[in-house]
Copies of this chain bind each other. A is one copy, B any other.
């Protein structure tokens, strides 16, 4: 691993702290280095708050003099912004700080902006290196990039099933198919999501809470509850009024999409600043997301049993959906598969 790669890994670790918190912005991390020594680091904590570059510069100036900062290198997971948004351009902050080299991982996913920072910085005699840790940096902003380029959120299908792909327990069995460790991981998935989608049938049968709850108090303080979106094939009036989603403390954060219109539901969520959506639903709605080409990723938990129950975790798909970049992780007695449906363009 080169020194550049090593420092970029640290910037990536900073960026990860923001996953689930920054929408509609992407999570971004930055570190500032001089003479192979770390001067400061930072991450983008929330839309409207300073970008990662400014956080790293501020962190450096809390510990060091402006003279120390001058002549340093900044490592950023994403190409710095070069135009005025809710905050002034980061390219300006970088040049003002006297930074002489900029290393970034992913290009701005907006094709009109991609590479613009490089041109601008080089015109001011600042050295620019790009593509360090590119795959990881692009993965970090995959939800942001999808909304930026398509106007739709990144959709992850989450399901827990037996090893023969069945979802429902026979009557009398425990309602929990998977282990406590897997259920804790689902809380983390919800933490990283802006909205959770379920179906009208799941609402009727399971009456789920779909809240963040079994998670560190420190994390809970950072984030408001995800939006909940119920997609029903009928209309709103046919859903049970007593459902938790319509009556709990966050009922103002529950949306309903009628007529099973997945595309309209996703546009509604994107318009509500959601970049990442987690679908926790039955087999029919899962399959509908795949058929509509709206799903980007899966997170599938397999419990160590063969079940043969009546309800498939994915029901009635007309075509095979091939998966890419599969990662298998043992979680308790279960196995978790995370994989991409659309192969990443690198």
Contacts and interface: CB of A to CB of B under 8 A. Distances in A.
A319 B165 contact: no
Contacts of A333: 326
Contacts of A287: 308
Interface in A269-325: 287, 290, 298, 300, 304-309, 312-324
A304 B317 contact: no
B163 A166 contact: no
Interface string A165-196: 11001100100000000000000000000000
A248 to B, nearest CB: 32
A164 interface: yes
Interface string A10-43: 0000000000000000000000000000000000
Contact of A319 (B163, B170, B337): B170
Contacts of A106: none
A339 interface: yes
A17 to B, nearest CB: 30
A163 B306 contact: no
A303 B234 CA distance: 35
A326 B305 contact: no
Contact of A313 (B164, B169, B335): B164
B173 A337 contact: no
Q: How many copies does the complex hold?
A: 2
B300 A308 contact: no
A162 interface: yes
A6 interface: no
| Most B-side CB within 10 Å, residue of A169, A170, A316, A317 | A317
A300 B165 contact: no
A64 interface: no
A306 B335 contact: no
| Most B-side CB within 10 Å, residue of A300, A321, A324, A337 | A321
A330 interface: yes
Contact of A320 (B305, B315, B316, B326): B305
A23 B326 CA distance: 39
Contacts of A308: 287, 312, 314-318, 320
A315 B335 CA distance: 22
B328 A163 contact: no
A164 B162 contact: no
Which 9 interchain pairs have the tightest Cβ spacing? A165-B165, A308-B317, A164-B165, A164-B314, A304-B323, A306-B321, A305-B320, A305-B322, A308-B314
7 contacts: A163-B300, A163-B323, A164-B314, A170-B319, A308-B312, A328-B330, A335-B337
